[in-house]
Amino acid sequence: MKRIIIWLLLITPFFTKAENADSTWIVNNYIKKEQYITMRDGIRLYTVIYLPKDITEKHPVLITRTPYSSGPYGENNFRKFWNNHYKEYFRENYIMVMQDVRGKSMSEGTFIDVRPFNKHKKLNTDIDESTDTYDTIDWLVKNLAGNNRKVGVFGNSYPGFYAIQAALCNHPALVAVSPQAPVTDWFMGDDWHHNGAFFILDAFNFFVIWGFGNIRKEPTEDEFKSNLKVPTKDNYAFFLRTGAIPNFTKLTGDSIKFWNEMMNHPDYDAWWQERNARTACYNIKPAMLVVGGLFDAEDCFGAWNTYKAIEKQSPRTDNKLVMGPWCHGQWTRTDGTHLGHIKFGSNTVEWYARNMEIPFFNYYLKKKGSVENIKNANVFFTGENIWKQFTQWPPADATEKALFLQSGGKLNWEKSTSRKKSYSEYISDPAKPVPYTEGINSRRTYEYLTDDQRFASTRPDVLVFQTDVLTKDVTLAGPVIADLQTSISTTDADFVVKLIDVFPDDFRYGKDDNYIMSGYEMLVRGDIFRGRYRRNFEKPEAFTADKITQVKYSMPDVAHTFKKGHRIMVQVQSSWFPLSDRNPQKFTDIYHAKDVDFQKATIRIYHDQINNSKIILSVKE
């Protein structure tokens, strides 16, 4: 998500002649205004307004609210909207608005990360992000000459969270909202935690190294400053050498507010639960277009589960979903023809912009065109590389089917018939954690969710199970559920389960790829689970050493076809470093653990008739 580097990419692109022509057109046909808009409690929010010079018709308003700065500042300095499909909104004469959220950059007030929605607002001092959005919209439609009193809101990543909050404001002028890769739940699946496991690489880089967690004393144009220089470009080595989490807390200088709050809330308590944006997704009035990436390392969870929450809690809402074959925010930056080594056969970003997002806003904000071609669920299926559209998600013809782990590294649709206790085991050593990707990296890579997993297959602390060569295509459309029967020799452990597409040995995309994809083990979906939460995320529970117990958890949905001639593989391991922090494998408060607490654990995964570990897939017929 939220990497400042992504933001920088959005505002400092490389230019082509076409982009320079677009930039000239926008500057010549728009006026930029900077305005402070006063909220109901007196706090003023810095707002940038790009107004079309055209006065032949009234224009809709499209807003992005951001904690990453709405700069560049100065009415003669235009943001570089022309490097992606946003330029089409200028061609359509939209009034484009960006706003620094409360307490960030040039806005007044106090910033609170993922500020909870307030259900019980009575006084003007009872504010949240929905009231700030309401007050902003109200000022815009009443004060901007030439607006048509129809407003849309969109945003990607953290601004996606603010788009969700906008949808809750119930301003009558707000008719269309698109949360894109939205932050929803920072404990269960977005950004800083997955199933309770702390994603320390992203969290530490975001809040500390990139400076998002800095305390701002007053409005400023230059808020984001690095707090720490890492002594090595090898993040695996740096995070391993630094050790237990309290050592990272020391490096923050005890000055990063949200970091310290996380350290005091290790479990899914009320503090985390009120920061779950999905719980407020009821009685939503505007039309919704939820957008996400199948390989979004930051907020894949957020996109899938925002859509599902609205479907369940606000069934009358015109709610639509688009999931493309993208990493985080890729639909605003590249052509979407590939991610890492995996090719998708077409410009998926152009298809999305022309067929989904632009028609959505044009219809609801301008009454132009139609949304008949935007179905309830619009999802790209990798493997066969095709967009498919459905009236519901998961599709009505998708059914749960289990693939059973078996002895000898086999993976089969039928469970073992052996009554004899059978298991595969490995030793999980926190001193030598399994890396999440191969090679030396200074940053968290964007493409790791499609990476070749052969580097992990050869490790003794990674179990590998695979099917025979497939005799027909197998299409998955829905969640992936890991259901392990396990025992551990200690009192706590993490579990990483990875679903992998094994390419044929003679596979080539084309004659020029030099067989680089031969035998490629493409990660289709993988996720981690902190074992102490196997029964309850609010109340962690120690394992009883060597006692067989179930660890079952759901991963974000997949849309993928394993082609005939490929194999399906499952890998099981107990670390994913430094993506996730290391579990000491001792039942203790990990946020305050000591280096001496870390210990080896013997992990057994059972696969007999009674204790049958499996992965449950949504198979589309």
The answer on pLDDT for 163 being more than 70 is: yes
The answer on pLDDT for 94 being more than 50 is: yes
pLDDT tens per residue, range 279-305: 999 999 999 999 999 999 999 999 999
pLDDT tier, 222 (very low <50, low <70, confident <90, very high otherwise): confident
pLDDT tier, 510 (very low <50, low <70, confident <90, very high otherwise): confident
Question: Same structural domain for residues 316 and 428?
Answer: no
Q: Hey, what long-range contacts does 348-353 have (CB within 8 A, 24 or more apart)?
A: 348/324, 348/380, 348/387, 349/85, 349/324, 350/85, 351/387, 352/291, 352/322, 352/324, 353/85, 353/88
Task: Tell me if 352 is assigned to some domain.
Answer: yes
Question: Same structural domain for residues 384 and 412?
Answer: no
Q: Residue 378: exposed, middle, or buried by beta-carbon count in 10 A (0-12, 13-18, 19+)?
A: buried
The answer on pLDDT for 103 being more than 70 is: yes
Do 332 and 368 meet the contact criterion of CB atoms below 8 Å apart? no
pLDDT tens per residue, range 30-57: 999 999 999 999 999 999 999 999 999 9
pLDDT tens per residue, range 568-612: 999 999 999 999 999 999 999 999 999 999 999 999 999 999 999
pLDDT of residue 6: 41
pLDDT tier, 334 (very low <50, low <70, confident <90, very high otherwise): confident
pLDDT of residue 3: 42
Task: Tell me if 282 is assigned to some domain.
Answer: yes
Last residue of a domain, one of 390, 417, 451: 390
Distance CA 13, CA 320 (A): 30
Last residue of a domain, one of 390, 419, 442: 390
Do 187 and 279 meet the contact criterion of CB atoms below 8 Å apart? no
Question: Same structural domain for residues 381 and 404?
Answer: no
Task: Tell me if 466 is assigned to some domain.
Answer: yes
Mean pLDDT of the chain: 94
- Mean pLDDT to the nearest integer, 462-480: 98
pLDDT tier, 419 (very low <50, low <70, confident <90, very high otherwise): confident
Question: Same structural domain for residues 361 and 435?
Answer: no
Task: Tell me if 303 is assigned to some domain.
Answer: yes
Cα first-last separation, the chain? 34
> For 171-180, 234-243, 515-524, which range has the lowest pLDDT when averaged over its residues?
515-524
Question: Same structural domain for residues 375 and 422?
Answer: no
Please give the share of the chain, as a percent, with pLDDT higher than 90: 89
pLDDT of residue 21: 87
Question: Same structural domain for residues 347 and 442?
Answer: no
pLDDT of residue 215: 82
Question: Same structural domain for residues 443 and 562?
Answer: yes
Task: Tell me if 212 is assigned to some domain.
Answer: no
The answer on pLDDT for 78 being more than 90 is: yes
pLDDT of residue 18: 64
Distance CA 371, CA 350 (A): 17
Question: Same structural domain for residues 422 and 358?
Answer: no
The answer on pLDDT for 504 being more than 70 is: yes
Last residue of a domain, one of 390, 407, 432: 390
Question: Same structural domain for residues 566 and 422?
Answer: yes
pLDDT tier, 225 (very low <50, low <70, confident <90, very high otherwise): confident
Beta bridge partners of 50: 32, 96
pLDDT tens per residue, range 389-400: 999 999 999 999
pLDDT of residue 418: 84
pLDDT of residue 16: 54
Question: Same structural domain for residues 354 and 444?
Answer: no
- Give the CATH number, domain containing residue 74: 3.40.50.1820
The answer on pLDDT for 12 being more than 50 is: no
- Mean pLDDT to the nearest integer, 6-35: 71
Q: What SS3 class is residue 168?
A: coil
pLDDT of residue 14: 35
What is the domain count for the chain? 2
pLDDT of residue 223: 81
- Mean pLDDT to the nearest integer, 156-179: 98
pLDDT of residue 442: 92
Distance CA 300, CA 293 (A): 6
Task: Tell me if 226 is assigned to some domain.
Answer: no
Q: Is the dihedral of CA 181, 400, 476, 409 positive or negative?
A: positive
The answer on pLDDT for 2 being more than 50 is: no
pLDDT of residue 15: 37
Question: Same structural domain for residues 468 and 548?
Answer: yes
Task: Tell me if 196 is assigned to some domain.
Answer: no
pLDDT of residue 17: 62
> For 141-150, 214-223, 240-249, which range has the lowest pLDDT when averaged over its residues?
214-223
Domain containing 531: what range?
398-620
Task: Tell me if 197 is assigned to some domain.
Answer: no
Distance CA 164, CA 155 (A): 9
- Give the CATH number, domain containing residue 419: 2.60.120.260
Question: Same structural domain for residues 380 and 446?
Answer: no
